[in-house]
């Protein structure tokens, strides 16, 4: 799970709403609020896109019609990073978001696409099985056999659709695609057109030349995990077609804790229950994740980092699990007693040896905080045996 904006219960049976649907009111308001210049094909001005992603800092904005709205903060990160991303897209250049898993790369790309062109759904999920057709085009073979090559028989990829509409296409986990599949993006991003040889000349010398040209506004956002380096390394030619932006972990404890609380609360709301994890327990959870992620505690004590990614997204999952357990399986036990088991399940995902690293964390920072008189950490220290 990636870092997601606050969810509202779906009214049409969907567990998750697309950002263009979830925040339709904000998008419509911002379109009217800022009447400044917009790049070709954009729904909002670049400045309004930044406000949509980063929020209005609690300020109530007023549009020319007198309507007022506080724009929520959806991406907890560096505003300057978002501004650079918007500038890249305004220049119709490819944008590559890189970072550790769970740092909100996909969520940021969704928000940017929704704000720029009104849809985040023109997406290709990169895997080892992704084919070149999924980035370019395929065919409706029944129609192809019946009528031969034609525009009607062509099945456009999300990228080709974005080119024709002047929209933003998204390629998730681009480095998981095979190199020959990645290379199909090189000419696409350089020449801004896709040739369909089967269609060339079908309408005579003055007719269809079989080429789909990108219209103004088309651009592409790709994401890549730093942990996937070496899976399918991008070629130098493809790298030159992108501006790289690194999305890092959230730097502030309070901001990360609030994000975890908000998303876990939303998850419980969707399941019809109330989130009842105490704020001090939630802060201890986030603190443990931050210590293990960075290899150093907030006090400066060295911590052996586990091999698994201790991302904010994983912290949200643990907080949600604790909340669900309290809501549906609560038997009067303090919810903090479930924290060690959930942490162990997270830490051991990649390497069983990480179990020993978590025990080392308990014997280090957890014990030292308990000895300093911190009541919650004393309780956690007493639960060491629950780690096995």
Per residue in 278-306, pLDDT (tens digit) is: 899 999 999 999 999 999 999 999 999 99
Instruction: Answer whether residue 1 shows pLDDT above 50.
Output: no
Looking at the structure, tell me whether residues 263 and 353 fall in a common domain: yes
- The set of long-range contacts for 177-183, using a CB threshold of 8 Å and a minimum separation of 24, is 177/126, 177/127, 177/128, 177/130, 177/232, 178/128, 178/130, 178/232, 179/232, 179/233, 179/235, 180/132, 181/130, 181/131, 181/132, 181/135, 182/232, 182/234, 182/235, 182/238, 183/235, 183/237, 183/238
| Start-to-end CA span in the chain (Å) | 27
What confidence tens digit (pLDDT) does each residue in 49-58 have? 999 999 999 9
The H-assigned helical ranges of the chain are 19-22, 24-33, 46-54, 79-90, 105-117, 132-135, 141-147, 158-165, 179-182, 184-191, 236-239, 253-270, 279-294, 312-328, 339-347, 354-361, 367-371, 375-382
Report d(CA 29, CA 34) in Å as an integer: 9
Q: Is residue 12 part of a domain?
A: no
Cβ atoms 200, 140 nearer than 8 A: no
pLDDT for 199 = 83
pLDDT for 7 = 43
Looking at the structure, tell me whether residues 261 and 222 fall in a common domain: no
Averaged pLDDT for residues 66-84: 95
Looking at the structure, tell me whether residues 60 and 151 fall in a common domain: yes
DSSP bridge partners of 166? none
What confidence tens digit (pLDDT) does each residue in 340-349 have? 999 999 999 8
Looking at the structure, tell me whether residues 239 and 258 fall in a common domain: no
The CATH number of residue 235's host domain is 3.40.50.300
Cα 268 versus chain centre, distance: 20
Looking at the structure, tell me whether residues 324 and 374 fall in a common domain: yes
Averaged pLDDT for residues 148-160: 90
Average pLDDT, the chain: 90
pTM score, two decimals? 0.89
Q: Is residue 1 part of a domain?
A: no
Looking at the structure, tell me whether residues 79 and 207 fall in a common domain: yes
Range with lowest mean pLDDT among 21-35, 67-81, 146-160, 218-232: 218-232
pLDDT for 252 = 92
Q: Is residue 152 part of a domain?
A: yes
DSSP 150-218: -TTTEEE-HHHHHHHHT-EEEEETGGGS-HHHHTHHHHHHHH-EEE-GGGTTTT-TTS--SEEEPPTT-
Cα 10 versus chain centre, distance: 20
pLDDT for 211 = 87
pLDDT for 366 = 96
What confidence tens digit (pLDDT) does each residue in 116-144 have? 999 999 999 999 999 999 999 999 999 98
pLDDT for 6 = 41
Give the pair of three-digit tokens for residue 26.
């904000």
What confidence tens digit (pLDDT) does each residue in 351-377 have? 889 999 999 999 999 999 999 988 899
Q: Where among 216, 246, 276 does a domain terminate?
A: 246
Averaged pLDDT for residues 98-105: 91
Higher-pLDDT residue of 5 and 307 is 307
Instruction: Answer whether residue 9 shows pLDDT above 60.
Output: no
Report d(CA 167, CA 172) in Å as an integer: 16
Q: Where among 246, 263, 285 does a domain terminate?
A: 246
Question: What angle do the packed helices 279-294 and 375-382 form, to 10 degrees?
Answer: 70
The H-assigned helical ranges of 271-311 are 279-294
Averaged pLDDT for residues 145-151: 86
Instruction: Answer whether residue 91 shows pLDDT above 70.
Output: yes
Looking at the structure, tell me whether residues 32 and 153 fall in a common domain: yes
Instruction: Answer whether residue 2 shows pLDDT above 50.
Output: no
Averaged pLDDT for residues 314-330: 91
Q: How many CB atoms lie within 10 A of CB 376?
A: 17
Averaged pLDDT for residues 267-286: 90
Looking at the structure, tell me whether residues 315 and 381 fall in a common domain: yes
Looking at the structure, tell me whether residues 141 and 82 fall in a common domain: yes
pLDDT for 147 = 84
Please report which confidence band the pLDDT of residue 203 belongs to, taking 50, 70 and 90 as the band edges. Answer: low
DSSP 357-373: HHHHHIIIIIHHHHHTT
Q: Is residue 83 part of a domain?
A: yes
Tally of domains in the chain: 2
Cα 365 versus chain centre, distance: 31
Range with lowest mean pLDDT among 203-212, 218-227, 244-253, 260-269: 203-212
Percent of the chain clearing pLDDT 90 (strictly above): 74
Higher-pLDDT residue of 227 and 325 is 325
Q: Domain range holding 102?
A: 19-246
Looking at the structure, tell me whether residues 236 and 279 fall in a common domain: no
Q: Is residue 14 part of a domain?
A: no
φ, ψ of residue 81 to 5 degrees: the values are: -60, -45
Averaged pLDDT for residues 219-232: 85
């Amino acid at each position: 799970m990636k870092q997601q904006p606050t969810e509202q219960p779906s009214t049409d049976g969907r567990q998750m709403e697309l950002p263009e649907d979830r925040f339709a009111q904000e998008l419509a308001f911002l379109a009217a609020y800022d009447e400044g210049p917009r790049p070709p094909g954009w729904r909002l001005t670049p400045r309004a896109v930044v406000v949509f992603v980063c929020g209005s800092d609690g300020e109530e904005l007023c549009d020319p019609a007198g309507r007022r709205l506080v724009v929520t903060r959806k991406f907890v990160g560096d505003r300057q990073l978002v501004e650079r991303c918007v500038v890249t897209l305004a220049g119709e250049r490819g944008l590559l978001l890189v970072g550790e898993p769970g740092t909100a790369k996909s969520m940021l790309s969704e928000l940017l696409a929704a704000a720029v062109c009104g849809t985040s759904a023109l997406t290709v999920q990169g895997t080892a099985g992704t084919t070149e057709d999924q980035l370019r085009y395929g065919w409706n073979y029944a129609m192809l056999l019946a009528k031969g090559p034609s525009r009607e028989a062509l099945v456009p990829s999300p990228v080709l659709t974005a080119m024709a509409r002047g929209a933003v296409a998204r390629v998730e986990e681009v480095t998981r695609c095979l190199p020959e599949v990645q290379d199909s993006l090189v000419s696409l991003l350089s020449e801004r057109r896709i040739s369909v040889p089967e269609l060339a000349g079908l309408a005579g010398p003055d007719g269809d030349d079989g080429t789909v040209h990108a219209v103004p506004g088309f651009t592409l956002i790709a994401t890549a995990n730093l942990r996937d380096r070496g899976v399918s390394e991008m070629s130098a030619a493809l790298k030159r077609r992108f501006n790289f932006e690194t999305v890092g972990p959230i730097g502030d404890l309070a901001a990360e804790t609030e994000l975890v609380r908000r998303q876990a609360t939303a998850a419980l709301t969707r399941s019809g229950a109330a989130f009842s994890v105490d704020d001090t327990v939630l802060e201890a959870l986030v603190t443990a994740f931050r210590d293990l992620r960075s290899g150093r505690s907030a006090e400066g004590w060295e911590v052996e980092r586990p091999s698994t990614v201790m991302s904010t997204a994983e912290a949200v999952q643990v907080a949600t699990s604790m909340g669900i357990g309290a809501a549906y399986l609560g038997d009067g036990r303090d919810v903090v007693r479930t924290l060690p088991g959930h942490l162990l399940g997270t830490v051991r995902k990649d390497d069983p040896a990480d179990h020993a690293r978590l025990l080392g964390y308990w014997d280090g920072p957890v014990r030292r905080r308990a000895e300093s008189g911190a009541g919650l950490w004393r309780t956690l220290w007493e639960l060491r045996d629950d780690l096995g």
